[in-house]
Amino acid sequence: MIRVAIIGATGYTAYEAIQILLRHPYAEATYLTARGDKCGPVANIFPSLTDRLSLDLEPLDLGRLSERADVAFCCLPHKESMSVVPQLLDAGLKVVDLSADYRLHDVKLYESVYDVPHTDAGNLSNAAFGLPELFRDQIKGASLVANPGCYPTAASLALAPLLKEKLISSNDIVVNAVSGVSGAGRKPKQVFHFPEMNQNYFAYGVGTHRHQPEIEQILSDASGEPVEILFQPHVLNIDRGISESIYAKPTREISQASLNDLYQEVYADEPFVRLFTSPPLLKDVACTNFCDICPMVVKDKIVLFSNIDNLIKGASGQAIQNMNLVCELSETSGLL
């Protein structure tokens, strides 16, 4: 069995990773870390794990870590993550980092977007970008994988086929996204207090969301030309799930039939991409690692619908998928 450590195991992504590992045939959670005040039985923090997982949350101890784990999921907030990841690597573990710290290749870009100096530029340049459908080969041999953001996963899987084929203009794309509230993390906030968020919906991060440059980087890397998007996220009153409605301009006449053929061809062998001919229901990807995509020709535009569970394909499910690749397990282990 692959032994998995989860660093910073008190948030939603850690919880989802634990849940998946409980069903994983070849991997198991063996070491969970938290800040001192949260230490103790993991079921104290996540009562739903009562009688299911008897591990304690412990302060991070690199010695213990290297004895008890082969792979680490780093679930710390960005900025914290890059101070810990090098130690995890030095301790001899393979690392999947779920923060944003190793996603943007360009240190300057990272520093302007996250407004802190990057303290681990060396590993930044070695990190594989953990979106298997686009960068599987990089991931296989990697010792550090930067797990993608939730919004970028849905947007990139939907747009990459068109941009690779230069079928849409690369600088006139609108990504209108909605996300469940778990995407904002587990820390209570006024706006997410139940009586305020319930039956509510609103846009945020107008022109400033940090996933915009991440999406642009992924798609530029995938298509080989600079891509620019307008990304507008919204939050709606559901726990989990991201749905993106994407509007693009064809560079030439394209029929619905050939659009369908393109996506069928590109994603024929991908276990976690499903194609639909009408807009998929967000509920149908809840608690799964699927990305459901529906490409349509509408008037003079191409409209793409792309749905994921932000906590699974948008975070911990994809982290497991990356771990499976890194550890040479079957890519779908624990995920179907």
Q: Pick the catalytic residue: 150, 291, 294, 327?
A: 150
Using rule CB under 8 A, residue 138 touches its own copies: no
Among 192, 219, 266, 309, binds its own copies (CB under 8 A): 192
Extract the tokens encoding 210: 């940090």
Nearer to its own copies, 12 or 151 (CB): 12
Is residue 166 a contact point for its own copies (CB under 8 A)?
Answer: no
Per rule CB under 8 A, is residue 255 in the interface with its own copies? no
Which residues make Cβ contacts (< 8 Å) with residue 286, sequence separation at least 6?
Answer: 240, 241, 309
Q: Which stretch binds its own copies (CB under 8 A): 113-121, 128-136, 160-168, 224-232?
A: 224-232
CB of 238 to its own copies, least distance (A): 5
Q: Does 26 bind its own copies (CB under 8 A)?
A: no
Q: Per-residue contact track with its own copies, 34 to 53, x per CB under 8 A?
A: -------------xx-xxx-
Residue 332 interacting with its own copies (CB under 8 A): no
What amino acid occupies position 95?
V
Sheet holding 128-129, edge to edge: 40-41, 56-58, 27-33, 2-7, 71-74, 94-97, 144-146, 128-129
Going by the DSSP 8-state scheme, the letter that residue 252 receives in this structure is S
Torsion angles phi and psi, residue 151, rounded to 5: -60, -45
Q: Are strands 27-33 and 56-58 parallel, antiparallel or unpaired?
A: parallel
In the stretch 262-281, what mask flags binding to its own copies with x, by CB under 8 A? Answer: ------------x-x-xxxx
Closest CB 13 distance from its own copies, rounded Å? 12
In 3-state terms, what secondary structure has residue 18?
helix
Q: Which is nearer to its own copies, 115 or 199 (CB)?
A: 199
Nearer to its own copies by C-beta: 160 or 178?
178
Position among 36, 199, 268, 269 found at the interface with its own copies (CB under 8 A): 199
107 binds its own copies (CB under 8 A): no
CB atoms within 10 A of CB 336: 11
Q: Does 181 help bind its own copies (rule: CB under 8 A)?
A: yes
What is the rounded CA–CA span in Å between residue 209 and residue 174? 14
Beta bridge partners of 306: 244, 293
- Taking CB under 8 A as the rule, does residue 87 contact its own copies? no
Query: In the block, which residue shows the tokens 């409605």?
Result: 245
- DSSP state string for 28-63: EEEEEE--GGG-EEHHHH-GGGTTT--PEEE---HH
Q: How far apart are the first and last CA of the chain?
A: 18
Task: Name which position in 54, 237, 330, 332 contacts its own copies (CB under 8 A).
Answer: 237
Per CB under 8 A, the list member of 201, 225, 251, 265 interacting with its own copies is 201
**Nearer of residues 63 and 253 to its own copies, judged by Cβ:** 253
Query: How far apart are alpha carbons 281 and 101 in whole angstroms?
Result: 32
Q: Interface with its own copies includes 63 (CB under 8 A)?
A: no
DSSP string, 118-163: -S-HHHHHHPEE--HHHHHHHHHT-SEEEPPPHHHHHHHHHHHHHH
By beta-carbon proximity to its own copies, the closer residue of 140 and 301 is 301
Catalytic annotation on 150?
yes
Interacting residues with its own copies (CB under 8 A): 12, 22-23, 47-48, 50-52, 174, 176, 178, 180-182, 186-190, 192-204, 206-207, 228, 230, 232, 234, 236-241, 243, 245, 247, 274, 276, 278-288, 290, 292, 296, 298-299, 301, 303, 305, 336
Task: Give the residue numbers marked as catalytic.
Answer: 150
